[in-house]
Amino acid sequence: MARDVVFKMERPGLVEVGQRVEITESVTPFNVNYMIEPAVAMSGLFRLNDRLKSDHGTVKAIEENDRGYYVTVTMEED
């Protein structure tokens, strides 16, 4: 099963569509967030019971709007 996760990226050109990326997890007492390494983009917060099951994914899309760049990564989860 695939899961799409959106990450906020501050500037363009750091990743490309189709690129395979490594994801690291940062845990707080109540939430989890994820980062595309090496510190390219960060996800929003996830509940602890909604954690990702994979540490890598493939960039599906990169979109720009007035708030910045958003990277959609498809994560393969079983």
Exposure b/e, 24-33, CB count within 10 A at least 16 = b: eeeeeeeebe
Task: For tokens 């929003």, name the residue.
Answer: 44
Would you state the pLDDT for residue 77? 83
pLDDT tens, 2-19? Answer: 999 999 999 999 999 999
Structure tokens at 51: 């954690």
DSSP, res 26: E
pLDDT tens, 23-68? Answer: 999 999 999 999 999 999 999 999 999 999 999 999 999 999 999 9
Kindly report the pTM of this predicted structure: 0.91
Per-residue pLDDT at 78 exceeds 80: no
